[in-house]
Amino acid sequence: MAKILIVDDSKSIRTMVSAVLAAAGHEVKEAIDGHDALKVAQSDRFNLVISDVNMPIMDGFELVAELRKMEGYRYIPIVFLTTAESEFFRNKGREAGATAWITKPFNAKKLMDVLSKVTDLW
């Protein structure tokens, strides 16, 4: 079982991703944006972070860069789950420290397949 942080300003996306991961036996916490996620990450330790890119207050790129500075988050998998599809955004994500990229809309199988490739938690 892994502890996973889901970060997205869309409640419906957070709910869907949380349901898939909880059904697979993982503990899931949610955050509504990057700023909220940093607060949650400082008070708890996660094995994996799944984040949107386009969010108010602090976007996913800023979040990943900040998480990578924190002890305990330098090497964990961080996956973007987003509508942003361009190679420019993917490169920016890699530069920030993201491990993988999933484009919305997504399905449970695709999500689990990508996560199994980036982590040994499955």
Mean pLDDT for 91-100 is: 89
**Residue 22 — pLDDT band, cuts 50, 70, 90?**
very high
Judge whether residue 79 has pLDDT over 70. Answer: yes
* Rg (the chain; Cα; Å): 13
59: Cβ–Cβ under 8 A, 6 or more apart, which residues?
Answer: 34, 53
Closest residue by Cα to residue 82 from 2, 4, 3, 17: 17
Q: What angle do CA 6, 46, 110 make, to 5 degrees?
A: 45
Percentage with pLDDT > 70 across the chain: 98
**Tokens at 122, concatenated:** 């499955």
Mean pLDDT for 11-18 is: 96
pTM for the whole structure: 0.93
Domains of the chain in sequence order: 3-115 (3.40.50.2300)
Least confident window among 1-15, 47-61, 95-109 = 95-109
**Residue 121 — pLDDT band, cuts 50, 70, 90?**
low
Confidence at residue 122, expressed as pLDDT on a 0 to 100 scale: 53
Confidence at residue 118, expressed as pLDDT on a 0 to 100 scale: 85
